[in-house]
A and B are shown apart, each in its own frame.
Chain A
Amino acid sequence: MKRTLLLVLLGLFWVSSSIFAQQRTITGKVTDDSSGAPISNVSISVKGSQSQAQTRSDGSFSIQASTGDVILLRYVGYEPKEVVVDASNILNVQLQVSTADIKEVVVTALGIKRESKSLGYTAQSVSSETLTANKQTNMVNALQGKVAGVTITSTGGAPGQGARIQVRGINSFSSDRDNSPLFVIDGVLMDNSTSTQGGGASRGMSNRSVDLNPDDIETINILRSGAATALYGLRGSNGVVVITTKSGKSGRINIDLQSTYGIENVNKLPEVQTTYTQGWLGVYDPTDFWPSFGPTVAEAKALDSTHPDKLFNHIKDAYGSGSQSRNTLNINGGNEKVTFHSSISQYNHNGILKPTDFKNYQARLNGTYKVSEKFSAGTSISVNNSGGNRYNAVRYVEQLMYWSPRHDVNDFREENGTMKAYGTTSNPRYVAETNKLEDNVLRMIGNANFSYKPVEWFNLSYRLGLDTYRDNREAYAAGFRGLEGERLVSDNGVSPATGRGFVRSYDQNFVSINSTLLATFSHKISDNFSTTLVLGQDLYDRTIKGSAVEASDLAIWNWYFLNNANVINYIGTSKEKYRLMGLFGDFTLNYKDYLYLNVTGRNDITSSLLAPNNSFFYPSASLSYILSDHLDLPSIISNAKLRMSYAKIGKDAAPYSTSLGFGTYGSLPTGYIGFTRPNLKGNPNLRPEFTDTYEAGFSLGFMQGKLDLDFNYYYAISKDQINSIPVTTTTGFGLASVNLGSLRNKGVEVTLTARPVRNQNFSWESSLNFSANRNKVISINPELASSEINVYSESGYLDSRVTMFVKPGKEFGILYGRAMKRYYSPDEIAAGLDKTDKIDQNRPILIGANGFPVLDAVANQKIMGKITPDWIAGFNNTFRYKNLSANILFDARVGQSSYNQTGNFMSAFGISKYTEDRNDYKVFEGKLADGSNNTKEVWLGQGKDPKHGVNYGDGYYRLNHRGISEYFVEDASFLKLRSASINYSLPGHLVSGSFIQGLTLGVTGNNLAVWTKFSGFDPENTTTNAGSSIEGFGGMTYPQVRSFLFTLNVKF
């Protein structure tokens, strides 16, 4: 198939190249005039002709031209250059670095193009080259470590698994409010939600920007500050990711074919004990529930000759190796009037947890049409179909915890195909093979835009965008076959038809329409002053419909049709509409091209709040001062700019947060309809929340681009946060919509870019992104101030659950849990010193009369850590040596903690390496209640100790250790070698003359190394899905993978 395609393309090229036969091929190389380094991606065109080319990574190019033609060379950051073609076929050109290289044009809010220097706020952009360097297929993952102020979390290593993106920390208290930035693609609002329908919450579903082909992206511009996003209105209150896709250029048709193949395996696993086998109280039983509380392997072998010589490492065995392949084809070109960019791609990924997989087919067509000098139009459309088999990683790890390493977890099928297991334990591998959720998403994003410029000072543009998808999910599990000795698989069924199979169908239809009208007026008041005014209207209209059918008890065990199910468990439909309109203005005053003042205002009308709270106005102002254009600075400073801004941004509620009513009661059988209160208590009096953001910063450029520094400080307060928070069910509701309180975020962002070496053969470019954010809950609604606002919690044994509570005066994202009591003297207790929620690590641990540490009361929840990092950083390096280029990306996140629930289970079930001390004697260090030092020796084992015959019951790990959250909320700081890649481009002379314009071979390694103290899977993992703002729970997750990708790229 691929070969046929290639042949067709070759044929096409043979024909098209013959068209230019009367011209001749000019080849050459473009280099930097000061360093001599080759410059890639220089666009080269022949004036008055359609002939066009780009330089390869070694700076070489070839183009069709005739003697006397004028060749125009352009590249960002360099002065454009024109060269006349003479008799020679070789043309080597040197480009000069532009002295005003910050005259770069960036796409800001609503597609408004601004000179970068005029911006009074930060806008960091990522080029297509940087974005695709590590071959990530999810564009959110592709941004990891490349932008300051943006935290990206890859929630796990499943194929297609979602990635979370947050700009400048958490903006909203509750976990179900979207904290991720707004995604805008070519001016159209693009949904990036992570749908959890059909039990997808723990199945690592994709965030919807997975639908976008990263190779189609020309640039991504991240707008972080309020002033930058103000025009987007409330939808942009978490920052905005502005994506511009590639467009064709007039000239020859370019074809680019890229094939990637990759392999992967687990990057990090918890360490397991290898001494103790199955059983309880040291008594061996190969069918026992307890996986590792039996005797030693040697002792068990003496009793049971079938016992393996060594225990299996079942956690390691449960994950295999994965693979992926991806092929993309880009074709673009055009003429003076019409340009196009088209692409098609195919992606196939098989995960390490069998049989998870993910497939994605994508196609795009972008076109521009210049009707006249005054009127131009464009369209773009992308279609994709993605999905795969997702598995519940939480359940998988939980079941692995129950599995005994005495048995091979990969030996999971009996000869008759049913589950092979022991005792009452299910084999997790078998369950994964027979319990599936497959999603199938068909999505289309399209837009049509028009621009009309009747006079020089006026421009009218309109864009209509559509983002629509259908997310269909089928979940099914094998039923019961009724074979001799067949085991019922409890996961594969619904009580009361446990293990008898199920089939479920979910369907979600998403349609959003986005319309933007902009009128731009420009006026030059005098030589010193010029102004621009933009007035506009923006409309967003979204409808989400869903339906679900859940049925169980299959008549034929493997025929997964709803009509094969004996019991219908649930049928339902849902509908949600949301509408938002903004009217806005944006005024810019430019003084002598070095001082810019920008003022904006926007009024939103939203359907999710009730009048009069549904219409609200908010302003922004920003100032940009280009010192280097105003004053004479030392020559070492090539450019210097100061900027500051203030913005206020409103935010509305989730749809229907104001509504009350009754829903159906779901537990009745068919034929009975009952009504009940919904879980959420709507609040008709909700007010919009507002965030005030203050920001100041500067950028400095030294030695003509050798070193650039960008610094930013921001301070933002969100007031009247709208949240749906869990409330006591004695209110008759489980959740209530409230204006909960205020949250403050402040921080710094630094970007340092250096190009220390740049010469003929070798160049090195290095960029460092650093950001630190601090937040604090300023106040809480007085009615709820005494309650603990439980944002998220995961269980732990012996009530050692770890909970994230919101408390006024504290940071957001603090994890609380059950601690060991510390020793306080009677006087200190009388003074109330022990009544703190902080653990005083300097105090001795309180030891009970039984010689073991005393667990604090469950009600005395203590601070275990926080989910927010102290700082994050990314360090990206690109080296180029002749035709060889290399990229190395490190990223770090430091200071955050994560609750390792897997660790809690590994203590409770005696799986962790450290539990090998279970039959040791120990004197716990600490003080008794009377203040004396503990000297009592205790045994850590189960039952009666061999020395003194004291009965220790279930033993230290069951009775004590597993109930101490302190052991399981771990430092999750990490440094990662996120990716490293090497690309080799075939030298120009090897490919010149043929229809192949360039050929590049590359190897990329992702997630190559991680340095961390975290004992579980990858510290970055979260059990919460990509759409949730909750981090810091990283126990039972889909492990991350280390992958190696091999890429072949051919340009025609």
Chain B
Amino acid sequence: MKKNIKNWIFLVLAGSALSLQGCKDYFDLNENPSLIAKPSVNSILATVTHKTAKNSYNVASFSTYYSQYFASPSSSSTTDTYQVSNTSGTWNAIYFAMADIHDMIEFAKESDAPHHVGVGKILMAFHLALVTDTWGSGPYKEAFGKVNTLTPKYDSEEDLYKTSLQLIDEGILELEKPTAYIAMSSTLDMIHKGNRQAWLKTAYAIKARLLNKISKKSTYSATAVLAAIDKSYTSNADDATMGIFSGRNDWAGVATSNLNNVLGGWLSSNFIDHLNGTKYGLFDPRIEKITEKTVHGVYVGTRNGQGNVGAANTIHDECYISLKSPLTKDASPLFLITYPEVKFIEAEAAFRSGNPERAYNAYLAGIKANMVRLEVEQAAQDSYINDARVSVGKENLTLDLIFKEKFVVTYLSPEAWNDARRFDYKYKNFQMPVGAALGNFIRRVSIPQDELSRNSANVPTTVSLDVPLWWDKP
């Protein structure tokens, strides 16, 4: 008996050893159970529509300091004073989003989902514009695994610009296809709820923005801008917005943190003075819908680079981003591009093309629509718009006025800094920050540290941050 047991054990052990060796499947564990091989195009649509709005916020969260809507409560803050700052987080978020967009486009092509392809191309164009408007050049042709490399080459600023325009045109063609085997999900499309027509309007709005960006170039065509405008937004309802958050609107998050002494979202004296009558002698009622008065009952901003002055941070004696503003409430959506902005693009293009009437009408419509968006009372709207300093008459309209009014409309938009650079910062009394590290206004952001260390061979030569980008010079 005892001997039998021993033999039995021996056989089992030897047998199990041999059988495991033969069992190849046992070692075939390549498929990571925590990942799936091919998600549906709509589930990627959810990701990319959400990420696009977040990235618009991400870029604006520092460029609003350059356009001096915001100013840091700390003196000599890196961003305020034009020091080299590390924007790796935003760069990485943008490229991760573009990789997802790229995958969605590829999967959509395979599964006869042209509308997903179209939306993908428009969102890709939107992101490429964020990249080139912020850092100048960046990888695209070799990015996201299109070329099997761990160090993708950089596309030039001009190429990125051209690619984004081309992507818009391709995207429009795809969106114009009437049928798709897979339709866009109305819940997972977080921007336009699966509405193809709305996406087409947004495509043209972004196209107009892109075409208008090269206003310093000889190739600038106001006609082309206006042609895109014609197929674009007609009311505030058309805006490309995204309002689905885990938590709350990111700007509302800044406001909440600030109230909780994690400081941020302090409005710049440049912006406050723009609105409160200091610069123009005219009180803009939108200020009441953007921020709140200080404890002293006035509107006071913080000078860029100077930091907090007056009482301690806990005393609210300056103005901040507000949880009461229709733009920055907990449930407010994030904006990609809006009807008022489109109106101001129209105003500028019409003005440049020598059509002051169209320009003037668009200018007034833009202000009006923005006031409606900000829920300004009718009477206050009227009194501001009808003021002679605003309703100057078409013959008195100037580019300065258009840029002055557009500055209010593009609050919290990354496009504002593009405009500031196109306008060479010629807003009234726009000052250099206190203790600026540069002699001139900032024109670009340095390529992020992550790129310098991980893709150094391809990163373009470092230039001073006051060197204009490709589109920012003639």
Whether A731 touches B150, Cβ cut-off 8 Å, given contacts A424-B313, A499-B260, is: yes
- Beyond A452-B10, A726-B454, whether A673 also contacts B99 by CB under 8 A is no
Which residue of A is nearest B147, CB measured? A731
Query: A954 contacts B13, CB within 8 Å?
Result: no
B-contacting residues, A730-784, CB 8 Å: 730-734, 736, 738, 783-784
Instruction: Report yes or no: B35 in contact with A663, Cβ–Cβ below 8 A.
Output: yes
A517 contacts which chain B residues (CB < 8 A)? Answer: 13-14, 17
Q: Flag if A673 contacts B27 (CB, 8 Å).
A: no
Q: For residue B384, which residues in chain A have a CB less than 8 angstroms away from its CB?
A: none
Q: Is the CB of A318 closer than 8 A to any CB of chain B?
A: no
**Residues of B close to A496: CB separation below 8 A:** 247-248, 252-253, 256-257, 330
User: What mask results when residues 277 to 315 of chain A are scored 1 for a CB within 8 Å of chain B, else 0?
Assistant: 000000001011100000000000000000000000000
Q: Say whether B47 faces chain A, with CB atoms less than 8 Å apart.
A: yes
Instruction: Out of A583, A663, A859, name the residue touching B21 (CB < 8 Å).
Output: A583
Bound CA–CA A494/B263 (angstroms)? 15
Chain B residue numbers with a CB within 8 Å of A805 are 453
Out of B27, B257, B456, which one reaches A786, CB within 8 Å?
Answer: B456
13 additional A-B residue pairs with CB within 8 Å, beyond A575-B34, A674-B45: A289-B74, A494-B247, A537-B20, A569-B246, A578-B29, A579-B27, A656-B35, A661-B35, A668-B246, A729-B91, A731-B150, A859-B462, A953-B76
Q: Could you tell me the distance between the alpha carbons of A577 and B45 in the complex, rounded to whole angstroms?
A: 31
In contact, A462 and B150 (Cβ under 8 angstroms): no
- Which A residues lie within 8 Å of B450 (CB)? 726, 728-729
Complex contact A732–B96 (CB within 8 A)? yes
Structural contact, A659 and B27, CB atoms closer than 8 A: no
B188 and A581 contact, CB distance less than 8 A: no
Task: Verify if B26 is at the interface (C-beta below 8 Å from A).
Answer: yes
Cα distance A523–B74 when bound, in Å? Answer: 82
Q: Give CA–CA (A452, B12) in the complex, Å.
A: 14
Per the bound structure, the CA–CA distance linking A288 and B449 in Å amounts to 32
A-B contact pairs, 9 of them (CB 8 A): A452-B9, A656-B29, A658-B30, A661-B37, A675-B39, A728-B95, A729-B95, A732-B145, A790-B453
Q: In whole Å, how far is B128's beta carbon from the nearest beta carbon of chain A?
A: 12
Contact pattern, B 15-53, Cβ under 8 Å of A = 1, otherwise 0: 011001100101111111111111110011111001100
A-B CB contacts (within 8 Å), total count: 254
In the complex, A537 Cα to B21 Cα: how many Å? 10
* A residues contacting the other copy or chain, number (CB 8 A): 92
A567 interface contact, C-beta 8 A: yes
Q: Mark A664-678, 1 if CB is under 8 A from B, else 0.
A: 010111101111111
Nearest opposing residue in chain B for A286, CB measure: B312
Tell me if B454 and A656 are in contact (CB < 8 A): no
Main secondary structure of the interface of A (DSSP, over half): loop
Task: Tell me the bound Cα distance from A614 to B245 in angstroms.
Answer: 44
Interface status of B186 (Cβ within 8 A of chain A): no
When chains A and B are docked, how far (Å) is the Cα of A439 from the Cα of B95?
A: 36
B86 and A669 contact, CB distance less than 8 A: no
Q: How far is the CA of A730 from the CA of B187 in the complex (A)?
A: 29
Q: Name the one of B98, B151, B187 contacting A672, with C-beta atoms under 8 angstroms.
A: B187
Expressed in whole angstroms, the Cα–Cα distance for A172 and B444 within the complex equals 39
> A786 to B457, Cβ gap below 8 A?
yes
> Within 8 Å of chain B (Cβ to Cβ): is A727?
yes
Q: Name the one of A574, A658, A669, A730 contacting B95, with C-beta atoms under 8 angstroms.
A: A730
**How far is A575 from B29 in the complex, measured between Cα atoms in Å?**
12
Query: Is the CB of B143 closer than 8 A to any CB of chain A?
Result: yes
Which residues of the other chain, B, contact A499 by a CB distance below 8 angstroms?
260
- Asked if A488 is at the interface of the complex by the 8 Å CB criterion, the answer is yes
CB of B375 within 8 Å of the partner chain: no
Q: With A and B bound together, what is the CA distance between A490 and B330 in angstroms? A: 18
A799 within 8 A of B: yes
Interface centre among A539, A578, A958 (most CB of B within 10 A): A539
Is there contact, CB below 8 Å, between A452 and B99? Answer: no
Q: Is the CB of A607 within 8 A of B27?
A: yes
Q: Check B151–A498 contact: CB distance below 8 A.
A: no
Interface residue from A576, A577, A730 paired with B455 (Cβ < 8 Å): A730
CB distance B84 to A799 under 8 Å?
Answer: yes
The proximity string for B residues 249-263 relative to A, scoring 1 for CB distances below 8 Å and 0 otherwise, is 000110011001111
A423 part of interface (Cβ distance < 8 Å):
yes
- Per-residue A-contact encoding for B315-333, CB less than 8 Å = 1, 0 else: 0000000000000001000
A958 to B261, CA, bound (A): 23
Q: State which residues 290-342 of B face A: CB under 8 Å.
A: 312-314, 330
The answer to the question of A82 belonging to the interface, with a C-beta cut-off of 8 Å to chain B, is no
Tell me the bound Cα distance from A682 to B32 in angstroms: 10
| Interchain CB contact under 8 A, B84 and A659 | no
Mark interface residues in B86-118 (1 if CB within 8 Å of A CB, else 0): 100001100110111011000000000000000
With A663-B35, A677-B100 as contacts: A953 and B435 at CB distance below 8 Å: yes
The answer to whether A90 has its CB under 8 Å from any CB of chain B is no
A731 CB to nearest chain B CB (Å) = 6
Contacts of B457 in A (CB 8 A): 786-787
Contacts of A730 in B (CB 8 A): 95, 138-139, 142-144, 152, 451, 455
For chain A, residues 435 to 481, give those with C-beta under 8 angstroms from any C-beta of chain B: 450, 452, 454, 460, 462
Which residue of the partner chain, among B187, B244, B312, contacts A288 with CB atoms under 8 Å? B312
CA–CA, A684 and B32, complex, Å: 12
Given A498, A682, A787, which contacts B257 in the complex, CB threshold below 8 Å?
Answer: A498
B96 neighbours in A (Cβ, 8 Å): 676-677, 729, 732, 734
Q: Give the shortest distance, in Å, between A33 (CB) and chain B (any CB).
A: 46
Distance, CA A608 to CA B190, complexed state (A): 38
Q: Which of B239-284 contact A (CB under 8 A)?
A: 244-248, 252-253, 256-257, 260-263
Minimal beta-carbon separation of B84 from chain A (angstroms): 6
Q: B374 an interface residue at 8 Å Cβ cutoff? A: no
Q: Report whether B244 and A672 are in contact in the complex, using a CB–CB cutoff of 8 Å.
A: yes
- CB within 8 A of A662: which of B36, B102, B188, B263? B36
Report A-chain residues with C-beta under 8 Å of the C-beta of B28: 607, 611
Q: How distant is A395 from chain B, measured CB to nearest CB, in Å? A: 14
Known interface pairs A731-B152, A732-B145, A858-B84; A490-B54 also in contact (CB < 8 Å)? no
Asked, given contacts A496-B330, A667-B54, A672-B46, whether A677 binds B103 with beta carbons under 8 Å apart, the answer is yes
A289 touching B313, Cβ below 8 Å:
yes
Determine whether B149 belongs to the interface, using a CB cutoff of 8 Å to chain A.
yes
Chain B residues near A857 (CB, 8 Å)?
Answer: 462
Verify A668–B50 contact, CB threshold 8 A. yes
Q: From B10, which residue of chain A is reached at the shortest CB distance?
A: A460
The residue of chain A having its C-beta at the shortest distance from the C-beta of B255 within the complex is A496
Complex-state Cα separation, A786 to B452, whole angstroms = 11
Q: How far is the CB of A320 from chain B (nearest CB, A)?
A: 28
